Structure 1
Amino acid sequence: MTMDFGTIQFNSALMSITIGVGLLLIVRFMKHLKRSKIGQLEGWSIGFAIPGFILTITGANMSLKRPLYKLDFHINNIIFGEFSLAFGVLLLAVAILLWRKANVFTKNNFDYIDSMTISRILMKEAPILLKPLSYFTFALGLALISIAIASIRLQLLSTLNGELITSSFTKYPLVEGLFISGLYALTGIGAILLPFTLKQYAKPSFFKVMITCWQIAGIAFILFGMMIYFTLSEIIIHLMGK
């Protein structure tokens, strides 16, 4: 399969890095919450809002607009674009919830309460606040697992000829496909486990597996985004030579 530079999504690198950052932010927040180290919520709210906004805008553009006239890569656009859009909206929802909770603390003169008290309040209310979101997260996780299986079976994400790094694996088309599918599977497993970690008597192992999956996937998405930025240099040179 040869690369058609006219169909490449140049914002996919930013999206990949942003997905990784979003996953790692969730992991960090949950770990801080478990250890009663949550401080001011405004910072966390903005931290979730930034990747949420980026993924919502770029994901909507990729999944709703590009496939209508860039048909060569419409499968990849839908798979990556729709996932980014859904994850971006979820991050924005979390940002709004945290911002509203911060306003509640402010109105009740709780500005200077210690992080342990804030964490205890959030631990008590989080299962109730996040339960509605967890249903969509669970369904999204099932979709991600489905994408991972289909990608391996149908080689939807096989390596493209002409890429600066991944072209080294052209003889092994499943290498990149297995890597991306693994990221989708890890993210999906974590998403499926989220509703079960919110139960009153949830098993600690569920939380540990969820956090581990999202942490590995988050780091891998960031590294993959860095690799895409590296390959963009060849694409730009190719376009300049036309």
Structure 2
Amino acid sequence: MYSTLLPVFTGVMDQGLVIDWTQMPTYNTIMAVAAGAGLLSLVLFARKLMAGAEVDFRGYSANFGVLGLILTITGAHMTLTWPFAAYFPFDNIIFGEPSLAFGVLLLAASFVLWRRAAVLEESADAARTVARTAEPLGVLIFGLGLALVGIAAAGVAFQLFVAPPEEPISGYFSQWPWVEITFMSGLFALVGLGALLFPFATRTFAVRSTPTKVQWVAGVSLALGGIAFLLFGALNFFTHIGLIVNTMG
């Protein structure tokens, strides 16, 4: 998840790449896991609502609240303090700002679901009620979709997301930089597509309705993106620890 510019900023010594980790606090590991869990949770929540299945609204509220808190705190810290500024400041934008926005949206969802749980449980069409509440956020979510597509384009144009050889597993592909560039840029684009379709997907969202093509594509995009972020973030708990061990000097 690091760029090809990393060696330029940190320098290479005889024993390989050496990084001063006191100058670069990093926590996009937990951010990726929380973002993936959040995307998957939203898709599963929407599926239950549309199917008319029994939904524990306070349970989902707690879930969104936990994930939203993680993403809001880490995203806000990265957005406001730029911990990567000494090496590759663009990663503060790539990881920090989308995490902050998604975290706040999840907190808002948590608050609404908690406050309106009783009403939603008695509603004849909780899916439509939730969709109406979410519709005003469609403009922001559409804008975030454009932003994610912009990040994907930047990844390709500026050759970002390439792990150094010292990073376990991911670093193996440093000799073929297009592999991780394509994977990460495609992942951001995939989630961006789901966000772009969100405002249109909510228009006909109702209980026991047949999913439209727009709703199906949006759901699949967000679900696949969520799975990828969750698994890749979990993998990075190993690869990032390995990178730290291999570059402490």
TM-score band w.r.t. shorter chain = 0.7 to 0.9
Q: Please give the secondary structure, in 1, of the residue aligned with 2:92.
A: helix
Instruction: Quote the residue 1:108 is aligned against.
Output: none
1:75 CA displacement: 0.5
Distance 1:24 1:71 in 2: 34
Select the residue among 214, 217, 229 that pairs with 1:221: 229
* Structure 2 stretches lacking a partner, 5+ long: 8-16
TM-score (norm 1): 0.87
Q: 158-167 vs 211-220, which deviates more?
A: 158-167
Distance 1:72 1:55 in 2: 23
Select the residue among 89, 104, 121 that pairs with 1:89: 104
Instruction: Quote the residue 2:10 is aligned against.
Output: none
AA aligned opposite 1:91: L
Instruction: Tell whether 2:177 aligns with 1:173.
Output: yes
Q: Please give the secondary structure, in 1, of the residue aligned with 2:196.
A: helix
Aligned residues: 229
AA aligned opposite 2:230: I
* Equivalent pair of 1:163/1:231 in contact (CA under 8 Å): yes
Runs of 4+ in structure 1 deviating by more than 3 angstroms, as ranges, are 7-10, 200-203
Q: Deviations over 1:155-212 (max 9, x none)?
A: 1222323111111111111211211111111100000101001224897000000010
Instruction: Quote the residue 1:51 is aligned against.
Output: 67
* Structure 1 stretches lacking a partner, 5+ long: 106-112
Instruction: Quote the residue 2:135 is aligned against.
Output: 131
Q: How does 1:104-123 map to 2 (within 5 A)?
A: 104=119, 118=123, 120-123=124-127
* Equivalent pair of 1:159/1:177 in contact (CA under 8 Å): no
The answer to which structure has the higher helix fraction is 1
Q: Deviations over 1:105-147 (max 9, x none)?
A: 6xxxxxxx6xxx54x4322312320111111101000110111
TM-score (norm 2): 0.84
Distance 1:229 1:16 in 2: 10
Distance 1:198 1:104 in 2: 20
1:230 CA displacement: 0.8
Select the residue among 217, 229, 232 that pairs with 1:209: 217
Q: 56-65 vs 122-131, which deviates more?
A: 122-131
Q: Deviations over 1:82-103 (max 9, x none)?
A: 1111110111111111111115
AA aligned opposite 1:215: A
Select the residue among 86, 89, 93 that pairs with 1:78: 93
* Equivalent pair of 1:48/1:91 in contact (CA under 8 Å): yes
Distance 2:82 2:164 in 1: 19
Distance 1:182 1:97 in 2: 32
Change beyond 3 A, Cα 1:238–1:160: closer
* Equivalent pair of 2:128/2:205 in contact (CA under 8 Å): no
AA aligned opposite 2:31: M
Change beyond 3 A, Cα 1:147–1:42: same
Q: Please give the secondary structure, in 1, of the residue aligned with 2:125.
A: helix
Instruction: Quote the residue 1:140 is aligned against.
Output: 144
Select the residue among 32, 38, 44 that pairs with 2:54: 38
Distance 2:54 2:196 in 1: 25
